[in-house]
């Protein structure tokens, strides 16, 4: 099969992904073999390719927002028959026995595996995954529209879950790429007023099109105080202005897997019970609940499509803010 291999991390400007012919994987017990039709690209892929996340497998097939159809099942598995359309997310599997798994916090598992990071991902014609960790996809989404839901969407949903947002609350979103443009639709569905801070004018325009009551620059002060805020941009320097924008008792959620250093904080920014929380991965419950709500809304993902052979070009476009909404590879 054809697959893009990352042999060692490097700047995406050097086009480090190599299109190669590699053996097709085979589903073992408990697994399914999926023929890939689309794979979303997100900031985490950049962090993996450029080595901002410590390399865990070399060579590696990146990609963790995978949409495709099941071709075959491993021995003893019939939960999803061949032909079922499924999504494969970042969380590839968990151990099921550590204290976190046993307390419904599998996103913090002590021995997890991650699609496109510790195991081969979806920048390939075929992929294998544990049957218990794939999601059947709602019929209302095309393959291209569904791909960004599998990481950007699920992580944004978890951020909202822990942000303590309520109907009528003011929510700030810092950074408005793939995750932000899905998160705003869920937040508005839940009755929140959304204020967006992002550096690119085209992203501010998209935010207003999707119902933001205000959109300004990355460090601009929103016109109203915020009850909660989420930072999706991997920029630690956004933490102080986001805290400054919060009301007393407000919650700031850090939604990325990687962030540049956070500056030292004067205590008054945290005083009056403002808090900072980070999001790590997601649970399967997050994924199933989010996909149900996504179909109910229904969410309209804005995608920029790249042919499979242009994976390097897509990563470059994403790094340099050349993508409006979410980037998706089409097979």
Query: For residue 76, what pLDDT is reported?
Result: 79
Q: How many CB atoms lie within 10 A of CB 267?
A: 6
Kindly write down the DSSP assignment for every residue of 177-216, as one continuous string: SHHHHHHHHHHHHTT-EEEEE-S-HHHHHHHHHTT-SEEE
| pTM for the model | 0.94
pLDDT of res. 77: 66
Structure tokens at 289: 């609940």
* pLDDT, mean of residues 293-322: 96
Nearest CA to 293 out of 107, 153, 133, 142 is that of: 153
Give 139's contacts (C-beta < 8 A, 6+ positions apart). Answer: none
pLDDT at 97 > cutoff 80: yes
User: Which pLDDT tens digit goes with each residue over 244-282?
Assistant: 999 999 999 999 999 999 999 999 999 999 999 999 999
Return the sign of the alpha-carbon dihedral for residues 106, 107, 110, 114: positive
**pLDDT score, position 78:** 74
pLDDT over 90 (residue 203): yes
- Strand-pairing partners, residue 126, are 35
Percentage above 70 pLDDT, the chain: 100
pLDDT score for 277: 98
Contact 172, 213 (CB under 8 A): no
What average pLDDT does the structure give for the chain? 96
Q: Look at 76 and 108; give whichever has higher pLDDT.
A: 108
Q: 């009755």: which residue's tokens?
A: 191
Q: Helix, strand or coil for residue 300?
A: coil
Q: How far apart are CA 5 and CA 322, in angstroms?
A: 23
* Domains in the chain: ranges and CATH: 2-150+301-330 (3.90.180.10), 163-278 (3.40.50.720)
- The CA-CA-CA angle for residues 116, 13, 280, to 5°, reads 35
The whole-angstrom separation of Cα 116 and Cα 200 is 28
Q: Look at residues 139, 41, 40, 158 and name the one whose alpha carbon lies nearest to residue 84.
A: 139
Confidence of residue 117 (pLDDT cuts 50, 70, 90): very high
Residue 126: pLDDT band with limits 50, 70, 90 = very high
Structure-block tokens of residue 281: 């991965």
Give residue-wise pLDDT tens across range 139-158.
Answer: 999 999 999 999 999 999 99
Whole-number Cα distances in Å, 241 to 71, 102, 174: 49, 38, 10
The pLDDT score that the predictor gives to residue 132 is: 96
């Amino acid at each position: 099969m054809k697959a893009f291999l990352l042999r060692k991390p490097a700047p995406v400007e050097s086009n480090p992904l190599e299109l190669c012919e590699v053996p097709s994987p085979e589903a073992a017990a408990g697994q399914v073999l999926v023929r890939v039709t689309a794979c979303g690209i997100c900031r985490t892929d950049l962090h993996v390719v450029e080595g901002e996340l410590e390399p865990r497998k070399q060579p590696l097939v990146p990609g963790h927002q995978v949409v495709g159809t099941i071709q075959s099942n491993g021995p003893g598995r019939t939960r999803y028959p061949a032909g079922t359309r499924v999504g494969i997310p970042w969380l590839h599997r968990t151990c099921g026995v550590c204290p976190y798994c046993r307390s419904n916090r599998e996103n913090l598992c002590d021995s997890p595996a991650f699609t496109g990071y510790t195991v081969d991902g979806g920048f390939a014609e075929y992929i294998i995954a544990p049957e218990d960790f794939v999601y059947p996809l709602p019929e209302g989404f095309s393959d291209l529209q569904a791909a960004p839901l599998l990481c950007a969407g699920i992580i944004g949903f978890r951020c909202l879950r822990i942000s303590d947002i309520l109907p009528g609350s003011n929510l700030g979103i810092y950074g408005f790429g793939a995750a932000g443009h899905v998160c705003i639709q869920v937040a508005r569905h839940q009755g929140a007023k959304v204020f967006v801070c992002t550096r690119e004018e085209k992203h501010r325009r998209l935010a207003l099109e999707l119902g933001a009551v205000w959109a300004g620059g990355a460090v601009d002060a929103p016109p109203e105080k915020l009850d909660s805020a989420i930072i999706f941009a991997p920029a630690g320097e956004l933490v102080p202005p986001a805290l400054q924008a919060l009301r007393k008792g407000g919650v700031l959620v850090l939604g990325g897997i990687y962030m540049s250093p956070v500056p030292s904080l004067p205590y008054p920014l945290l005083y009056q019970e403002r808090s900072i929380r980070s999001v790590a991965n997601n649970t399967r419950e997050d994924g199933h609940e989010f996909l149900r709500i996504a179909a109910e809304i229904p969410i309209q993902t804005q995608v920029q499509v790249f042919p499979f052979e242009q994976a390097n070009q897509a990563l470059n476009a994403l790094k340099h803010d050349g993508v409006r909404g979410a980037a998706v590879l089409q097979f």
